[in-house]
Structure 1
């Protein structure tokens, strides 16, 4: 019996227009009626998740910033900060790369030092609370995650310059335009395991969905691990299952309905 479902957002639950599936709120009520807990695991910041899921925030687990920050009903269950020296190193290296812009992610807002229109177009999809600063290396607030907005291609343009940091930090290609850095022990898989422990839910009772490499560890902590049909090849290889439909075809909801014999809502 499935007791916990955790899903990624961009490229998974959300379509390419960043929209929830039609009828999602009624569908979610069916999960509640079956005593199934929902978790949202995303590279997005905490404030963005709370705003998007306002109607269900009091009974949903939020694993934001790639699992660096896990909350439930306003209570912090996990906080994994990056050390300031690493933040500075990532920022200074990113500044030397072509069309790569660093974004620092704190608990309550993000920080950027560039007003480039193409950067803002990408970043403001996720960071509604942000501050423009003159120098990111002077930000004193504790940082959960450093994200690089790579307007070329994160996997081929910026990632090779940071691969050597993987022995000390979690470096994840989070999408075509994003490369993320978190503390070494911070990832979505760790976050899901924490939720499992809090609920007394096991590997065999957990279902997860993801599409990109920042979902990799999440695929390893659930028996019912689903790669989206549109997923990165690395996630498809790691998952136990693959959805029959992509994120623009409500692949997550359809897979859940097929598994749990629920009725999709229109």
Structure 2
């Protein structure tokens, strides 16, 4: 999304003193270069020192949380994979709770979307790694990924061939060429199925998928491309955040949430106070009454600073 030319006017601050801040990462807390600004780091720390719990709530997998792992205080937990996993960043990104997409449902989604949107390619995000079809765009190359049709990637007992060790291609490392590695984790829970289409409009693809297969799984998107993120039925950022809040005795009206893309809408609607970033998707802007500056303008930090000033 393109940044707005100016920071929007400030909305009234929450009527109830916040006890928890829930923020998305990409397009929200992080700058476009995927860094956390010094201003934001200071604001997060100040919130924690004031007794406000901070939760990162993202579509990212646990293995991509290193960019913010140093900035989780107190509880150390983050909600990843659009609510499918709760991760302990104080323990090296260990997944402590999983809400999986069952294999049968994932296979049914693959079959349905292949018919409804020919040309769709798939990837499978498991707790132990990421695997994809040959036609799937290599957004994030993973040398340990298994590349095979989705039906095989989701098949029980699928055993891919042994491949060369990770150093073999470079010809470095003692015994590199003779240290084969068999990819592991293909029997671990599925966190997300991802579906990409090379030609469809992103929002049109989401609408089509929900109409064709919405009864099988939860569909959303956070990418500027036609890339859908598919979770188990009822799994969302909002549902997992609500559960984490209930465990802490925190009510929705005591939560302030930030987001920018369709996968944030349910969370923003659930929270008592929610802010759309200036760079947010039109549907996010329509779902929220409060605005803050863009991610590159440290919009999240600006609101946290105002909240703390009002205490």
TM-score by length of 1: 0.84
Q: Distance in 2 between matches of 1:161 and 1:184?
A: 14
Residue of structure 1 equivalent to 2:100 = 81
Residue of structure 2 equivalent to 1:195 = 244
1:67 deviates by 0.5
1:92 deviates by 4.3
Deviations 1:101-152 (A, max 9, x none): 3111111211112276xx22x335xxx6851322332234321111123444
130 and 86 in structure 1: CA distance in 2 versus 1, 3 angstrom threshold? farther
Higher mean C-alpha displacement, 158-167 vs 193-202? 158-167
45 and 7 in structure 1: CA distance in 2 versus 1, 3 angstrom threshold? same
SS at the partner of 1:145?
A: strand
Where do 1:1-266 residues align within 5 Å? 1-49=17-65, 51-57=66-72, 59-72=75-88, 78-92=97-111, 97=117, 100-114=120-134, 119-120=137-138, 122-124=139-141, 131-139=145-153, 140=156, 141=187, 142-152=189-199, 153-157=201-205, 159-177=207-225, 178-243=227-292, 245-261=293-309
258 and 225 in structure 1: CA distance in 2 versus 1, 3 angstrom threshold? same
Aligned residues: 254
1:81 deviates by 1.1
1:89 deviates by 3.1
**Relative to total residues, which structure has the larger strand share, 1 or 2?**
1
Is the 1:14–1:248 contact (alpha carbons within 8 Å) kept by the matching residues of 2? yes
Deviations 1:15-50 (A, max 9, x none): 22222223433332212211111111111112212x
144 and 200 in structure 1: CA distance in 2 versus 1, 3 angstrom threshold? same
TM-score by length of 2: 0.73
22 and 114 in structure 1: CA distance in 2 versus 1, 3 angstrom threshold? farther
**Relative to total residues, which structure has the larger helix share, 1 or 2?**
1
User: For the pair shown, which has the larger CA radius of gyration, 1 or 2?
Assistant: 2
Tell me the C-alpha RMSD between the 2 structures: 2.5
Where do 5+ consecutive residues of structure 2 fail to align? 1-16, 157-186
1:208 deviates by 0.5
Higher mean C-alpha displacement, 101-110 vs 90-99? 90-99
